[in-house]
Structure 1
Amino acid sequence: MLDAFLIQQCADPSLKPAIVEQFIAMAGSQDPLAITVRSGNRLVLVPKPTTPEEALAVIRDNLGRNTVRVGITQYPAGLGIVEAGQLKPEMVEPCENIRMGTALFAKVFRIVLKWYGNPSAKEVLPQVMDDAVVAWQTGYFEGVAVFRAEDPGDAKSPQPVHDPLHDGDKDVGSRENLGEPEVVPEHAGSDPNKAGMRIDLTGIGGRT
Structure 2
Amino acid sequence: MAEPFLIGDSMTGGYGNGPDILHDCTIAVEKGEIAVIVGPNGAGKSTAMKAVFGMLNLRSGAVRLDGEDITALTPQARVAKGMGFVPQTQNIFTSMTVEENLEMGAFIRTDDISDTMAQVYDLFPILKEKRNQPAGELSGGQRQQVAVGRALMTKPKVLMLDEPTAGVSPIVMDELFDRIIEVARAGITILMVEQNARQALEIADKGYVLVQGANRFTDTGKALLADPEVRRSFLGG
Q: Same fold (TM over 0.5)?
A: no
Q: Which of structures 1 and 2 has the bigger CA Rg?
A: 1
What TM-score, normalized to structure 2?
0.26
Query: By percentage of residues, which structure has more strand?
Result: 2
Scaled by the length of structure 1, the TM-score of the pair is 0.29
